[in-house]
Amino acid sequence: MSVTTDSRDRVRRVRSRLGETDDFRCVEVSWDVTAATYERERERFERRALGGAGVWLTRDDGAVLLARNEGDVGWANPGGKREAGETYAEAAKREVREETGVDCRLTGIREFHEVEHHPPDDSPPIVEAIVIFDGEYVDGTPRARPGEIAAVEWFTAPPERVAYEQVRTRPYPADSES
């Protein structure tokens, strides 16, 4: 079986399992990646650690917690790559804590991204799942993780610059209360 077929099958199984308990939006994305990025993704695929997770995290007043990676100009929900043996929910909570210093409670699934990685050569694409959970703030003072995250802030409306369009179009509960 090819890496494309195998990785796509894994993603579809994850999507099916998650869909048994939650209703969520599905987003299909294609990314052109460098040879080095492709190789890292292939190694993660072989270790069964492919995929990632993030959290659309709100607090009681409706503000949304966003992070900006070092070197980026756009804001995104906190999140990152899954580790081998880790569930998507475990990855989401760990990444939020590592990147922002905040603990959260997951309340459901907002989006399921099926991402196809295309290398610069003729190698077959690799497909991974990225799960964006809804979450509620529990505890902690937001702070950026040195060496990775440039800034962490609460937003009541979409920021001017975003890392990807869903960050602009998702609901900002505090903005709708005005």
Q: Which residues of 105-140 are buried (b: 16+ CB within 10 A; e: fewer)?
A: ebeebbbbbbbbbebeeeeebbbbbbbbbbbebeee
CA–CA distance, 47 with 25 (Å, rounded to integer): 28
Burial of 96 (0-12, 13-18, 19+ CB in 10 A): buried
Number of domains in the chain: 1
CATH number of the domain within which 40 lies = 3.90.79.10
Q: Residue 41's closest CA among 109, 111, 130?
A: 130
DSSP 76-135: B-SEEEPPTT--HHHHHHHHHHHHHS-EEEEEEEEEEEEEEEE-SSSPPPEEEEEEEEEE
Prediction pTM value: 0.93
Q: Residue 79's closest CA among 119, 48, 110, 39?
A: 110
Q: Determine the pLDDT at residue 159.
A: 97
What is the domain range of residue 29? 3-176
Render each residue's pLDDT in the chain as its tens digit; 178 residues. Answer: 799 999 999 999 999 999 888 789 999 999 999 999 999 999 999 999 999 999 999 999 999 999 999 999 999 999 999 999 999 999 999 999 999 999 999 999 999 999 999 999 999 999 999 999 999 999 999 999 999 999 999 999 999 999 999 999 999 988 765 4
